[in-house]
Amino acid sequence: MNDGPPKSLGTRIALTLTLVVAAYAALDHVIQRWAVLPKFSELEQREAREDLDRVLRAIENQKLHLAEHGRRLANWSETRQLLVACAAEPANAASARTRFAAANLAPNELALANLDFAYVVDRNGAVLGGGALDPRTGESLALRDFALDSVAPTHPLLVQEKHDADGTELVPDETLGLSITHLGPTLLAASPIVDGDGETRWLGTVVVGRRFDETLIAEIAAATAVAFDVWDATGAELPPAVAARLERVTVEGGAVVDLDADGRLAAWTIVEDSRRLPTLLVRANLPRDISSFGEDAATYALVSTVAAGALLVFVLLTVLRRVVLNPLARLTGHAVAIGRTDDMSAKLRLDREDEIGVLSREFDRMMDKLEHSRAEVVRTARVAGMSEISTGVLHNVGNTLNSVNVAVNVLSERVRESKLAKLERVVEMIESQGDKLGEFITNHPKGKHVAPFLSEVAKLMRHEHEQIAAETNKLQSGVEHLRALVASQQELAGKNELREAVRLEEQVALAATLADLPRAVEAGLVFEVSGTGLGRVLVDRHKLVQVLVNLLKNAREAIVESGRRPGRIHVACSRDGERLRITVEDDGIGIPAENLTRIFQHGFTTKAGGHGFGLHSSANAAVEMHGRIDAVSNGAGHGARLILDLPFEPAPQA
């Protein structure tokens, strides 16, 4: 039973609603984390791939821009004239190349065309003009492959001779691509120079290019709004993290999106050269705006859910407190007040038309009925209590009357067998002799037996007197016990307890006599008493005898019911600390396990003709003496042990 302060119903409802809202918010947050946020991540990765595609398209646009410059330079008439002049007049080729380079390939011309280098090469590989410019310093450079007067006609930066199936020479295809030069990654465009007079004839190649440096990266990043980095994919000295990404991109192909070391989202891919070889590793760096937005959205959703739940809980509690909780609190307080004051005439009278109003009116009506019912129950309980007390007194009186009846029978038998009649005849015979009494006693044959007879009669009369005195004492004890049993009703009514200093062995002997054990002992019953050296103790003597009589009587009846002969009853008195234990053990029929506690219930009995009150009244008497009775048995046929446990209080020394 919980004896603590009652928990408020409002608190429980608030706690329940709070837990529901918290569970809903947690579940909603988990769902968003599990189902919604991955969508933001997928969108972010898709955006990363699209940004990377924009960078690649921008690189392709740069290639096309180079190709446009290359085609324009290849289509200039000055370019064709230079090739024709160098082929027709080799002696004047040097001056023609100088004039052409000064007019068309000067550094300022390259800067205006946004080119890092431009070269004109005839179909045999002779370099007819060109140059390279460092846009950061404005200084002229030399592209290592074109630093000499000629290059191999099959150089990958040049367009290649082309024929059809019949061997007819065709105009070569334009070449666009990416190459790794000693200037670093470089975008290249090679356009064929074609003679436009009549027949189309290939004369040479215009090679233009631009280094993939910070300037070009900045231009592409500005045009695409995507920050990116590039590495030479053919280089051996790459940072470990970059080398790992290069290997992964090479194995998986396409674009790879992951997180870099500083938590940014990075999209990786490889740009191939004109020969389809991996040349440039590109990484597009993207801020995690979408994921951050998703995180913010999830946080906002959680906060809004909690706030909405808190508002809902507040509104519900306010409504519940006004509509339900406050009326219930009044009803509860009214019930508690009735329980405290026991005044069932007080009325609640909640003026409401809803269920709580009906409950309050029914509660008042129930209190009226309960008040009338309680009066009836009290009257019935008083009658039942009087009946139970009377039954207990009569039961114990019946037990004691058995002993009184035995004593009366013994007295009656002694009176019937008394030698008084013979003594009266002897007295008559002596009185009839008159003055001849002396001669009669001395000489007459009958007179000689008078003196021995009188002596024998005196002895018999003394023995009878002793037996009658003993039985009279027993009868007196039984009558005294009967008086005490009758008086116990008044003692119970007044809650009085009369304790006396007694010796346990004497009370056990008295109880054994009242339980009619002496006759059973004469019939062969073994009755033993041990542990009687406890001295005088303070107990309610009559209640103790009442309990012992019932325990001994039940033990004797259990032995008779088992059919065991002669049977044995052992009473053991012992002290355990501040407790006194009197054990009555028998080898009778025993007690089944399911009946070990039921035997003390009022009306429970397993005996034919039993009333089920002896052990019940004994248990009550033990409780009244601040003790208890316990039953122990190994089951049917194994005897039983009933233990009377009482407070041990030695009597003061006289």
The CATH number that applies at residue 638 is 3.30.565.10
Q: Which band of pLDDT confidence, cut at 50, 70 and 90, is reported for residue 497?
A: low
Question: And the tokens for 379?
Answer: 């009257």
Do 115 and 247 lie in one domain? The reply is no
- For the ranges 4-18, 486-500, 521-535, the lowest mean pLDDT is seen at 486-500
- Of 368, 332, 371, give the one whose Cα is nearest residue 350: 332
Last residue of a domain, one of 201, 222, 243: 222
Range of the domain at 172: 76-222
DSSP state letter for 350: -
- In this structure, the answer to whether residues 212 and 245 fall within a common structural domain is no
**3-state SS, residue 34:** helix
Both 605 and 563 in a single domain? yes
Produce one character per residue of 30-51: b if its CB has 16 or more CB atoms within 10 Å, e if not. Answer: eebeeeebeebeeebbebbbeb
Q: How many domains does the chain have?
A: 3
**Whole-Å CA distances, 323 to 193, 317, 330, 354, 356:** 97, 10, 12, 10, 9
CB 238 within 8 A of CB 278: no
Same domain, 604 and 645: yes
The one-character DSSP state at 33 is I
Given a contact cutoff of 8 angstroms between Cβ atoms, the answer to whether 538 and 572 are in contact is no
Note the pTM of the prediction, 2 decimals: 0.49
273, 149: one domain = no
Domain-embedded: residue 6:
no
Distance CA 277, CA 136 (A): 30
CA angle centred on 271, ends 269 and 275, rounded to 5°:
145
* Residue range 108-124, pLDDT digits in tens: 778 888 888 899 999 88
Q: Give the model's pLDDT for residue 364.
A: 78
> What CATH number should be reported for the domain holding residue 108?
3.30.450.20
Cα–Cα distance between 83 and 491 in angstroms, integer? 147
Most confident of 169-183, 336-350, 479-493: 169-183
3-state DSSP of 577-599: CCEEEEEEEECCCCCCHHHCCHH
Mean per-residue pLDDT for 319-345? 77
pLDDT at 207: 92
pLDDT digits (tens, 9 = 90+) for 62-84: 989 999 999 999 888 888 888 88
Q: Are residues 608 and 516 in the same domain?
A: yes
Does 164 reside within a domain? yes
Give CB contacts under 8 A, 24+ apart, made by 109-112: 111/135, 111/138
**Residue 110 covered by a domain:** yes
| Residue 554 placed within a domain | yes
In this structure, what token pair is assigned to residue 28?
A: 């909603």
Judge if 506 and 649 occupy the same domain.
yes
Instruction: Please check whether residues 535 and 644 belong to one and the same domain.
Output: yes
Here the tokens at position 466 are: 């002793």
pLDDT of residue 140: 76
Task: Verify that 250 and 121 share a domain, yes or no.
Answer: no
**One domain, residues 213 and 249:** no
Same-domain pairing of 156 and 256: no
Sign of CA dihedral 584, 588, 591, 592: positive
2 belongs to a structural domain: no
pLDDT band, very low/low/confident/very high, at 179 (cuts 50, 70, 90): confident
Structural domain contains residue 4: no
Distance CA 125, CA 563 (A): 138
- Give the whole-angstrom CA distance, residue 649 versus residue 643: 18
- Position 115 scores a pLDDT of 86
Q: Is the pLDDT of residue 15 over 60?
A: yes
First to last CA, the chain: 48
pLDDT score recorded for residue 581: 93
Residue ending a domain, among 244, 272, 287, is 287
Evaluate the CA torsion angle 119, 125, 127, 133 in order and state its sign. positive
**242 and 217 within one domain:** no
Q: Which two tokens stand for residue 331?
A: 């009803």
The pLDDT, as a whole number, for residue 1 is 43
Least confident of 202-216, 263-277, 311-325, 602-616: 602-616
223 or 277, greater pLDDT = 223
Please check the confidence at residue 654 and state whether its pLDDT lies above 60: no
Is 650 contained in some domain?
yes
Residue 612: the pLDDT is 66
Supply the pLDDT for residue 609.
Answer: 59
More confident residue, 160 or 93: 160
Asked if 184 contacts 60 with a C-beta cutoff of 8 angstroms, the reply is no
Whether 631 is in a domain gets the answer: yes
Q: Is the pLDDT of residue 385 over 50?
A: no
So what's the pLDDT on residue 484? 59
Q: Determine the average pLDDT of the residues in 149-159.
A: 86
* Domain end residue (candidates: 222, 246, 261): 222
Quick one: average pLDDT of 198-217?
85
Determine contact, residues 457/449, Cβ cutoff 8 Å: no
pLDDT higher than 50, residue 648: yes
Share of the chain above pLDDT 90, in %: 10
Position 642 scores a pLDDT of 92
